[in-house]
Structure 1
Amino acid sequence: MARAVPCRFVLLTSLAMLAFAGNSLLCRLALRDTDIDPVSFTAIRILSGAFMLGLLMQVRTRKQPVGGDWRSALALFVYAAAFSLAYVYLPAGAGALLLFGAVQLTMTGWGLVRGERLKTVQTVGLILAVAGLLMLLLPGAAAPSLLGASLMLVSGVAWGIYSLLGRGAGDPLAATAGNFIRATPLALLLLLPFLGSLNQDGPGLLYALISGALTSGLGYALWYSALKGLTAIQGASVQLSVPVLAALGGALLLAENITLRLVLVAILTLGGIALVVWGKRSAAG
C-alpha cells in the first residue's frame, strides 16, 4: 500500500516542481524578450545560485563545510550552459520535455550498463519514451530547431550525469552548494571568448538572478526538504509534472502554442517514463 505523504511535504514538492518549471519559463522569457545573451544568463544564474546556496549553508542550524566535487561541478556547468543556449531556439514546453526525457533516459541507460534488467512493461515504456522524443524531432512545421533540440538533449544528459554523481554524496544541500561554487569560475571563463559581444539589460539580469537564486538555489533546497517525505518512486514520478507545467506556463505567460504534436509527444514520452518508473515499484513489491 502506498505511503501517505504529509501535507507539509505535498506543499514543498509542489513549490519545488513550480520552481523547476519556472527555470524553463524564466530562461525562455529572458532570451526571447530581453537583450541578455545566453552566456551572460548562464554566468549570472550559476553565480546567484552559488550565493543563495552558500547563504542557506550559513543560516542553517547544523553547520558543516560545503561538499561536492569538480566532476559534478563540470556536469552542472554543461547542463546550465547548454540549457541557456538551447532556449534561444526552443519554446518552454518543448525544451522542458526534451530536457526531462534526456535526464530520465540517461539515468535509465546507466542502470542498464550497470547490469539492471527491465521488466516487459519497463521495456515498452522505454521504447515509447524514445519514440516520443524522436517524434518531436521529425521534420515538419511544428518541429523544434534541430540545433536547439540537440543542445537541450546535451543539457539533459549532463543533468542526468550530475544526478548520478550526486547519489551517496552525503548532505544534498552541502554538495549542491559546493558544486555551484565550483561551477562559478567555469561560468566566468565561458564569458571570456564572448567579451566583445555580451549583452545585458535590467529585465534580463533580473530574470537571471531570479532563476539562479530562487528557482535554482532555493528551488533545489525545497526539493531536498521534500525528498525526506517521499519514497524514491514518488520522487521520480512527481517530476513528470515539470514539462506539463512548463508547457502550460509557456502558453499562459509567454503566448506559446501547445501544438497537437507536443501533446502527443508528451503523452508518449511522459507515459513511457512513467511505465519505467512505476515498473520498478512493481518489481520491488
Structure 2
Amino acid sequence: MHLNKSMKVFLLTSVALIAFAGNSIFCRLALGEERIDAASFTSIRLLTGIAVLLAVLALSPYRVKVRNGQVQGADEHQTQPTRGSWRAALMLFIYAIGFSYAYVSLETGTGALILFGAVQITMIAVGLVTGNRLTVIEWLGVLLAFAGFTYLMLPGVEAPSLLGFVFMAAAGVAWGFYTLAGKGSRHPLSDTAFNFVRTLPLVVLLIVLTISNSQMTLYGIVLAMLSGGLASGIGYTIWYMALEGLSAIQAAVLQLLVPIIATIGGFVFSGEEITLRFVIATLMVLGGILMVILGRFQSQKQISS
C-alpha cells in the first residue's frame, strides 16, 4: 500500500516519539525494579546502540567509506567528514550515565519531564550566551518553566528524589550540548553512529570501575539492549527520517509529547501514580517551553517578513 508523504511523516514521527519515551520506560522498568545496576545498564545500552547504529549505517545509502584518510559518502564528490567528535561523545556518555542513575529513584514521567526541560533550558541558555535576545513572551515562558521545576521539587511527600533530579538534570544539560554539537551536521546518522563508537573507551573504563558491584538479571539485560538497540539506535534513525518532512518548529513542539507518553507508559507498565503535583508541574514546564518555541518562531517570522 502506497502512503502519501504526510502520512509517512506522521507514522515515522509517532514511532520515533514512542521510542524516545521507551528509553525512559525501559530504564525505569530495569532500575526501578532492581533488575540491573545503573552502570551495567549504561554499558549494555551504549554497546548495543553502537552495534545497531553501525549495522544501520552499513545498510544505508549514505554509508561512508574511508579512502586515503578522507571520509567519503555514497556520492564520490562528498568529502565532508562524518565521524562525529570526541566532545559530542563525552556529552553522550554523560547523558547516558546520568539518565541511568537518575532512574534508580525517579518515576518514568518525572524523569522524562526533568530531562526534556533541562535539554530545552540548556539550549535556550546557550542561545542567550551567544547573543540571542528573548522577547517578553519568551522570558515569561522561561520563568514559567523554572517555576514549574521549583514547584515539582518543593518539599513534601510527592517531591521526587533530589539526587535523582540532579542526575537527570545533568543528563539533560549534556544532551542539550550534544544536540547543539550536532546542529548543522550534513550526515546526522553517521555522526551519531561514530559518536556512539567514540564512547567505547569510557564504557570500558566504566565496566572496569564497576564490575565488582555489578548486578544483572536476564530481564535487566534485555531491557538495556532494547533501550540501546530499539529505542536509541532504531529510534534515532527513524527520527532522522521523520525530520526530512518536519520544520524545526514542528520538531520542537512535537517533542513536548515525550514526557506525556513516558508518563502514560509508566502508569501502564509500572503502575506508577500520576499525582496532581506532577500534572501541574508538567503543564507549567511544557507550557513555558512551548511559549519560548512559539515566541521564537513568531519573532523569526516577523524578521523574515
TM range (shorter): over 0.9
Q: Match of 1:181, as an amino acid?
A: V
Separation in 2 of the partners of 1:106 and 1:32?
27
Partner of 1:59: 59
Task: Kindly indicate whether residue 111 of structure 2 is the aligned counterpart of residue 95 of structure 1.
Answer: yes
Identity within the alignment, %? 47
Q: Which moved more, 1:268-277 or 1:59-68?
A: 59-68
Which residue number corresponds to residue 152 of structure 1? 168
CA deviation digits over 1:96-115, x for unaligned, max 9? 00000000000000000011
In the TM superposition, residue 79 of structure 1 has moved relative to its aligned partner by 0.1
- Tell me the TM-score normalised to structure 1 length: 0.97
Measure, in 2, the Cα distance between the counterparts of 1:226 and 1:252: 27
**What does the per-residue CA deviation read over 1:187-207, in whole Å, with 9 as the maximum and x for residues that have no partner?**
121121222111111000000
Aligned partner of 2:180 among 141, 145, 164? 164
Q: Does the residue aligned with 1:128 lie in a helix, a strand or coil?
A: helix
Cα deviation, 1:71-127, whole Å, max 9, x if unaligned, reads 000000000000000000100010000000000000000000011011111111010
Matched position secondary structure for 2:32 = helix
> What SS is found at the alignment partner of 1:196?
helix
Code of the aligned partner of 2:279: V
How far apart, in 2, do the equivalents of 1:157 and 1:189 lie?
22
Corresponding residue of 1:199: 215
- Alignment partners' CA distance in 1, 2:159 and 2:204: 33
Q: Which amino acid aligns with 2:161?
A: S
Residues 39-78 of structure 1 mapped to structure 2, 5 A cutoff? 39-65=39-65, 67-78=83-94
Q: For residue 209 of structure 1, what is the aligned residue in structure 2?
A: 225
The amino acid that maps onto 1:100 is F
Partner of 2:149: 133
- Count of residues in correspondence between the two structures: 282
CA RMSD of aligned residues (A): 1.2
Contact 2:153 2:159 in 1 (8 A): yes
Partners of 1:62 and 1:108 in 2: CA distance: 32
- Structure 1 residue 134, shift from structure 2 partner: 1.2
Residue 239 (structure 2) aligned to one of 213, 223, 232: 223
Residue in structure 1 matched with residue 77 of structure 2 by the alignment: none
Task: Tell me the distance in 2 between the aligned counterparts of 1:253 and 1:245.
Answer: 12
Q: 1:34 Cα shift? A: 4.3
2:251 to 218, 222, 235: 235
- What letter is aligned with 2:37? D
User: Contact 1:34 / 1:203 at 8 angstroms: preserved in 2?
Assistant: no
- 1:259 is matched with 275
Could you tell me how far 1:252 is from its partner in structure 2?
A: 1.3
TM-score computed with the length of structure 2 as normaliser: 0.90
Asked if residue 82 in structure 1 is aligned to residue 78 in structure 2, the reply is no
Contact 1:28 1:88 in 2 (8 A): yes
Equivalent residue for 1:119?
Answer: 135
Structure 2 residue identity aligned to 1:26: F
Q: What corresponds to 2:32 in structure 1? A: 32
User: Residue 62 of structure 1: CA displacement?
Assistant: 3.0
Structure 1 counterpart of 2:46, one-letter code: I
Unaligned 5+ segments in structure 1 are none
1:178 counterpart (194, 208, 227):
194
Moved over 4 A (4+): none
Q: Secondary structure at the match of 1:68?
A: coil
Cα distance in 1 between the residues matched to 2:61 and 2:300: 37
- Name the CA distance, whole Å, in 2 between partners of 1:54 and 1:196: 30
User: SS of 1:6's equivalent?
Assistant: helix
CA distance, structure 2, for counterparts of residue 33 and residue 258 of structure 1: 18
Letter in 2 for 1:43: S
* Equivalent AA in structure 2 for residue 95 of structure 1: G
